Every structure is written in C-alpha cells, then in structure tokens.
C-alpha cells in the first residue's frame, strides 16, 4: 500500500459536488484513505485557490460555505507550500514537453517533493509521463471492493 498519496484537484472537487461523474468513487476512496492511519494525503497550496474559485463561482456554493470547505480541506490534507523551485521545475518539464499542462506539472513536482508514491487523479492522461504511480478514484474503489 502507498503511504504517501497526492490527491489531484479534480478528486477533491468530486468530494463536494455530487453532480460530478466520479463523486461516488472519489468519496469512497478518500474516505478509506483518511481512515488508514498509515497513509498521508497531500495536496498543494495552489490547489486551494482553484478549488475555492470553482466551488464559489462555478458551482455557486456561496462565500461562507466555500470557506468552510477550504477549512475542512486544510485540516484533512497535508499542504505542500509551493515555492520558487517548484515553479521553476514545473516550467522546465513543460518546456521539455514532459507535461503539456503547467498545473499538472506543478502538482507532479509537489508530489515528487513530498515523496508520494501514488497520485490519485480522474484525468490520468494528464500524468502519462509520471514516474509516480497513477490511479483514478474509480480504479481504486473497484479494486478495493474485491479485496
């Protein structure tokens, strides 16, 4: 089992918006990972702003409800503070066309910095050049049902 797991923003959004395609799977997987005391869950601090914007402005959660969500996220997950070296490394792997999207590259660099061995994302194609194992919440949920 992976002991350090990086969670992509799309999985976090799935937790709080039941209309999203992977809501059930993401809720199941994050719930199980939170209960496993041997697993540390990571996200990056830059994801907080993106999640806030999407929940407040696209899903119309409202300011106070969105703040409560962000507060819960900050209590549950280990937050990787993005620093200048992370930004430079992300730009570098994008320039080398290892990653096509800067945000995904930054999440990948944060996961590497935190020594994560798994990234949970519902857009695995975005991490196709990852040296870290990748799994979707659906894959993990279905796999764990058979254990």
Give the separation between CA 8 and CA 60, rounded to whole angstroms: 21
**pLDDT at site 145:** 84
Per-residue pLDDT tens digits for 96-133: 999 999 999 999 999 999 999 999 999 999 999 999 99
Residue 147 has pLDDT above 90, yes or no: no
DSSP string for residues in 112-127: HHTT-SEEE-S-GGGG
Q: Where are the alpha helices (DSSP H) in 36-136?
A: 45-53, 63-76, 84-95, 102-113
Residue 44 has pLDDT above 90, yes or no: yes
Residue 91's domain comprises 4-145
**pLDDT at site 36:** 94
Q: Report the percent of the chain where pLDDT is more than 90.
A: 97
Question: What's CA 81's distance to the chain center, in Å?
Answer: 14
Per-residue pLDDT tens digits for 16-37: 999 999 999 999 999 999 999 9
Give the separation between CA 85 and CA 1, rounded to whole angstroms: 29
Q: Are 8 and 41 in contact (CB under 8 A)?
A: no
Number of domains in the chain: 1
Per-residue pLDDT tens digits for 45-75: 999 999 999 999 999 999 999 999 999 999 9
Confidence of residue 1 (pLDDT cuts 50, 70, 90): confident
**pLDDT at site 146:** 77
Q: What CATH number has the domain bearing residue 101?
A: 3.40.50.1010
Q: Are 55 and 13 in contact (CB under 8 A)?
A: yes
């Amino acid at each position: 089992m992976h002991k350090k797991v990086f969670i992509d923003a799309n999985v976090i959004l799935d937790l709080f918006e039941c209309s999203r395609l992977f809501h059930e799977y993401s809720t199941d997987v994050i719930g199980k990972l939170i209960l496993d005391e041997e697993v540390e869950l990571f996200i990056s601090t830059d994801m907080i702003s993106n999640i806030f914007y999407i929940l407040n402005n696209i899903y119309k959660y409202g300011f106070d409800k969105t703040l409560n969500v962000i507060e819960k996220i900050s209590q549950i997950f280990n937050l990787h503070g993005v620093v200048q070296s992370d930004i430079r490394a992300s730009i570098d792997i994008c320039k080398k066309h290892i990653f096509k999207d800067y945000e995904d590259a930054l999440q990948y660099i944060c996961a590497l910095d935190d020594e994560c061995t798994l990234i949970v994302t519902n857009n695995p194609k975005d991490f196709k050049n990852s040296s870290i194992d990748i799994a979707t919440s659906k894959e993990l949920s279905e796999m764990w049902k058979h254990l």
